Structure 1
Amino acid sequence: MDRAELVELLSPEGLRLLDSLPEWQAKTDIVGAVSDLRRRGHSPSLVAAVLTQSKLRARAKAKFGDFAARMLFTEAGLEQATRLRVAALHAGRFSRAGVGHVADLGCGIGGDSLALAAVDLEVTSAEADEVTAAIAAYNLTPFEKARVVHERAEDVHLGGIGGAWLDPARRVTSGGRTRRLSDASDYTPSLDFAFGLADRMAVGVKLGPGTDRDVIPPGVEAQWVSVGGDVVELGVWFGAVARPGIGRAALVVGDHGADELTAAADSEDAPVGPLGEYLYEPDGAVIRARLIGDLARGHGAWMLSSGIAYLTADTAFESPFAQGFRVLERLPVDERQLRQALRARDIGTLEIKKRGSDVDPAALRTRLKLQGAASATLVMTREEGRHVALLVERMPRAGQVSSAP
């Protein structure tokens, strides 16, 4: 979206038209919608803008819930925006730390700013891109204590501001295509700038969950967050918004609340042993935080193989930090024998999970050509270094009790 399109969208006519559209559905007839709006006298640019926003609002419900219906978005801004539920946890840290005024430096479409303002904090939101800054200003209109400035993060005057939140841009757009940056030194603003602010105020920095751990400064709190089983971010916290004694944290957010596993530092892996009656796959946040050993010791479990994130135990346990499986039987690793074994069990629908194996689950599933009536889960991994194929039964995952920081 360019400046002219945004101006047209933000006109009374544009906003009325956008709000009058039915909710976007996957089956929406785009050609028919365009034709109808053009027949009603709307310009091609406005029609394109409102239909794009309608589609983005539908996608944004996963992150913003009902708030999405009154917000505006850009493609890149929505992709990088923090889920509102997680943004509320960020805001809670600043509120509990007594930080009354927070600078959201590189605010994008304003998702984190919205959460900060919702807990009655004063917010200065800065965005270098003019169109995105205007969209953030629109999204923050209901909050009197929020203001948006069209400035680079590095240029914002921070006098009188007690804390900063930064979500450095990890993507660049060129020629209409967006590319993810693999080198943290290329982020905007730079990590040197973001981390350097901690010398003067409380700071939180959002990074991708797969960020090289070498960039995490010593002595800070690093918290990996998963939502619904997907690891969505690494939060690095400094000063008053970092919790004493916690260097590593795995926060697991689900339908029933949030649970957290914390430690002062990476935990030592548990010993390796033979397959027990149960197999456990730690949540991705636990794996990223390197707290698998603590999880294992807390439940009398052990590692199935060195360097592979599967635990095993002879006693069943429930945990929000791991998905459990009951081991039904071992199957042959050889593909021909494996096919015969699965067909003998009338298995036609097969979920394939793998760690420590170079098998491509989709390609293997195709080659197996299963046609039975039953469904099953197969785990391809290693036991004490040896390849194994395990037929398992998924166990219910523990309900999550709210205990978020």
Structure 2
Amino acid sequence: MGYQFTRAEVGYLAGAAGQAALAEVGALPLSASSLVRDLEVARRTHGDRTGMLVETVRLRRRATAKLDPAIPWLLTDDALQQATPAPVARHRAQRLAGRSVHDVTCSVGAELVALARECPVVIGSDIDAVRLDMAAANLAAEQAVRLVRADALVPVTADPVVIADPARRAGGRRTHDPAALQPPLPDLLAAYHGRDLVVKCAPGLDFDTAGPDGSPWAGEVEVVSLDGSVREACLWSPGLAAPRVRRRATVLAADGTSWTLTDADPDGIEERAPGRWIVDPDGAVVRAGLVRHYAAKHGLWQLDPRIAYLTGDTVPPGVRGFEILERMDFREKPLRAALHRRDCGPLEILARGVPVDPDVLRAKLKPRGSVPHTVVVTRIGTTATAFVCATPPVQVRGVPA
């Protein structure tokens, strides 16, 4: 659950005395080995306020990898976990540039920071008064942002684009059920029927049941990854969707580079035998169902029409390609012999379309050599197939592509 802040504590932390106290506590290591000693030091000066000060400092340190480091954030643990990473929020704000927007689940204001830099009118609301007070402190430099305490399911504006980020945990576990989100997706759609709406969801959401009454989503589904990790699926209502686009994959990198692919792009590819390389597309491409579109764009083809692994004679720039050294039917004994013959040491195992646990298989293969290899196990037709590949250097997959 994390530390439970009160409104009085947030008021103190946002003031000059609180900021000075945070600076003092921020000078302490607060590491696992020094925490007990550091807490004693902090309590001698700050007494009962030590808990909220230490929690805020530790949350700020965690937030530097996710949020704008120039802002002295006030946060809760839950708010930080759900906060949209700054590059993802910036991308969404740029899609909404020039529009008036209302974030109805604004929490501590992480999304509002990006929106305020692109949109002429920005409103944030939340039912949690503590988080709203934190948002006010975090947005102190953004005079154009208006904050209101309101239930996300009770509209308090009529015209702006509505943004919602329902909590994705139920009973302490992450959920992909639209009705189990907080607030529930069906209730959000009913509350803002006819409005331009953007809803952030977990990438595992079933898009085919995300619409009203369990129907497919009628607008655009955008799956977004950042530095190779899929972060979210964003639902754009029909009025905000690009023409003829129902699915989009957006691949972002922390250095500001990005590319996007949609189902309006060509998807015609050949059926051919495996080429020189195997390519595992970025997760956003796979989750958005745009593997064939990605293949067509880069002159690749599929190992099997039902499997997301691609193959070709070249590798798109910035993508990890696995050079095929040997192909065989997947059986443990011949595969182990092939790896030992190649002096295989560090072993990466990728599996798709077959019931293989990479950790279990690695233990059975017993690689003891010195040369790194990658084994790709997949299904081609009805045959489980293993490809022994050279392990490529680690890269940020898919940027640029």
- TM-score where L is the length of structure 1: 0.86
Residue number in structure 2 paired with 1:168: 166
Mapped to 2, the partners of 1:39 and 1:200 lie a distance apart of 57
Does the 8 A contact of 1:108 with 1:136 survive in 2? yes
SS across alignment from 1:382: strand
Does the 8 A contact of 1:120 with 1:145 survive in 2? no
Mapped to 2, the partners of 1:35 and 1:258 lie a distance apart of 47
Mapped to 1, the partners of 2:205 and 2:366 lie a distance apart of 38
Does the 8 A contact of 2:279 with 2:315 survive in 1? no
1:72: how far off? 1.4
Mapped to 2, the partners of 1:103 and 1:292 lie a distance apart of 34
Residue number in structure 2 paired with 1:179: 173
Moved more, 351-360 or 269-278: 269-278
Residue number in structure 1 paired with 2:82: 80
- 1:377-396 pair list within 5 angstroms: 377-394=374-391
SS across alignment from 2:52: helix
1:34 aligns with 2:43: no
In structure 2, the CA distance between the partners of 1:18 and 1:366, relative to structure 1 (3 Å rule), is farther
Mapped to 2, the partners of 1:67 and 1:307 lie a distance apart of 46
1:239: how far off? 4.9
Mapped to 2, the partners of 1:391 and 1:401 lie a distance apart of 26
- 1:8-157 pair list within 5 angstroms: 8-10=12-14, 12-20=16-24, 21-22=26-27, 29-40=34-45, 42-44=46-48, 46-67=49-70, 70-95=72-97, 98-99=98-99, 101-157=100-156
1:324 aligns with 2:321: yes
What whole-Å deviation, never above 9, does each CA across 1:195-240 have from its counterpart, x for those lacking one?
A: 3466543321111111002214554111111111111111111255
1:168: how far off? 1.3
1:372: how far off? 1.9
1:127: how far off? 1.0
1:274: how far off? 3.0
1:337: how far off? 3.4
SS across alignment from 2:244: coil
Residue number in structure 2 paired with 1:224: 223
What whole-Å deviation, never above 9, does each CA across 1:156-210 have from its counterpart, x for those lacking one?
A: 4114x4211111122246xxxx332342112223323433466543321111111
Moved more, 8-17 or 233-242: 8-17
In structure 2, the CA distance between the partners of 1:244 and 1:182, relative to structure 1 (3 Å rule), is closer
Amino acid across the alignment from 2:336: R
Structure 1: which 4+ aligned runs deviate by more than 4 Å?
23-28, 196-200, 267-273, 394-399
Does the 8 A contact of 1:357 with 1:380 survive in 2? yes
Does the 8 A contact of 1:305 with 1:382 survive in 2? yes
What whole-Å deviation, never above 9, does each CA across 1:14-46 have from its counterpart, x for those lacking one?
A: 332213313867666211210111223x124x2
1:236 aligns with 2:230: no
Mapped to 1, the partners of 2:297 and 2:365 lie a distance apart of 39
SS across alignment from 1:326: strand
Residue number in structure 2 paired with 1:213: 207
Query: How many pairs align?
Result: 388
Does the 8 A contact of 1:283 with 1:323 survive in 2? no
Mapped to 2, the partners of 1:12 and 1:263 lie a distance apart of 52
- TM-score where L is the length of structure 2: 0.87
Mapped to 2, the partners of 1:25 and 1:355 lie a distance apart of 42
What whole-Å deviation, never above 9, does each CA across 1:135-170 have from its counterpart, x for those lacking one?
A: 1221111111112222211224114x4211111122
In structure 2, the CA distance between the partners of 1:133 and 1:269, relative to structure 1 (3 Å rule), is farther
Mapped to 1, the partners of 2:236 and 2:55 lie a distance apart of 36
Amino acid across the alignment from 2:52: A
Q: Which runs of 5+ in 1 are unaligned?
A: none
Percentage of pairs with the same residue: 33
1:287: how far off? 1.0
RMSD of aligned Cα (Å): 2.7
- 1:362-381 pair list within 5 angstroms: 362-381=359-378
Mapped to 2, the partners of 1:339 and 1:162 lie a distance apart of 61
Mapped to 2, the partners of 1:171 and 1:330 lie a distance apart of 42
Mapped to 2, the partners of 1:25 and 1:310 lie a distance apart of 44
1:401: how far off? 5.2
